[in-house]
């Protein structure tokens, strides 16, 4: 495994854009809450650490990961002033094809929203074979993918702002 023994959640604040005025939304699945709450906390802590003001963070909950694209779309529509949205979820492989359908549907839904709308949505959904793998990626030995998603949100929010000033070569 490429991440074996590695914590990928470290970042250098000095290399990140100024996030003081950024507004970030989080849509969090209530399914597997021991995982999704850890992902949320990792994202929230990182956002605060890099300068996002607590009052500029919006959180919505949804029942499961399949509902994330709909809620992200509604958040895009309701809060046009958001700079980025983080979709937080967890799907663990079971004995049926349900895992495949949920993962495929929500991945395509998030991708479509990114292509169709102007507010970037960061994919912070763990799709693991076991609960132990999800635990390792939500604050365990592989760090916290929520932290990584927060850093990606800051970078994409800045890209969105900068893109308005880019001119063709």
Residues taking part in catalysis? 98
Could you give the count of Cα atoms lying within 13 Å of 92 in the half-sphere of its Cβ?
13
Asked if 60 contacts 69 with a C-beta cutoff of 8 angstroms, the reply is: no
Question: Contact at 8 Å (CB) between 122 and 43?
Answer: no
3-state secondary structure the chain: CCCCCCCCCCCCHHHCCCCCCCCEEEEEECCCHHHHHHHHHHHHHHHHHCCCCHHHEEEEEECCHHHHHHHHHHHHHHCCCCCEEEEEEEEECCCCCHHHHHHHHHHHHHHHHHHHCCCCEEEEEEEECCHHHHHHCEEECCEEHHHHHHHHHHHHHHHHHHHCCCCCC
């Amino acid at each position: 495994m490429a991440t074996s023994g590695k914590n990928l959640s470290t970042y250098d604040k000095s290399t990140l854009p100024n996030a003081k005025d950024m507004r970030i939304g989080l849509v969090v699945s209530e399914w597997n809450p021991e995982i999704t709450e850890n992902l949320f906390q990792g994202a929230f802590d990182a956002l605060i650490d890099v300068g996002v003001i607590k009052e500029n963070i919006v959180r919505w909950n949804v029942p499961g990961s399949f509902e994330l694209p709909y809620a992200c779309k509604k958040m895009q529509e309701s809060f046009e002033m958001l700079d980025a949205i983080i979709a937080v979820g967890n799907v663990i492989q079971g004995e049926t094809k349900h895992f495949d359908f949920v993962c495929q549907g929500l991945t395509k839904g998030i991708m479509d929203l990114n292509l169709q709308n102007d507010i970037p949505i960061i994919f912070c959904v763990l799709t693991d074979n076991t609960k132990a793998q999800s635990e390792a990626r939500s604050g365990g030995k592989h760090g916290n993918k929520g932290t990584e998603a927060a850093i990606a949100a800051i970078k994409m929010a800045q890209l969105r702002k900068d893109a308005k000033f880019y001119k063709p070569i």
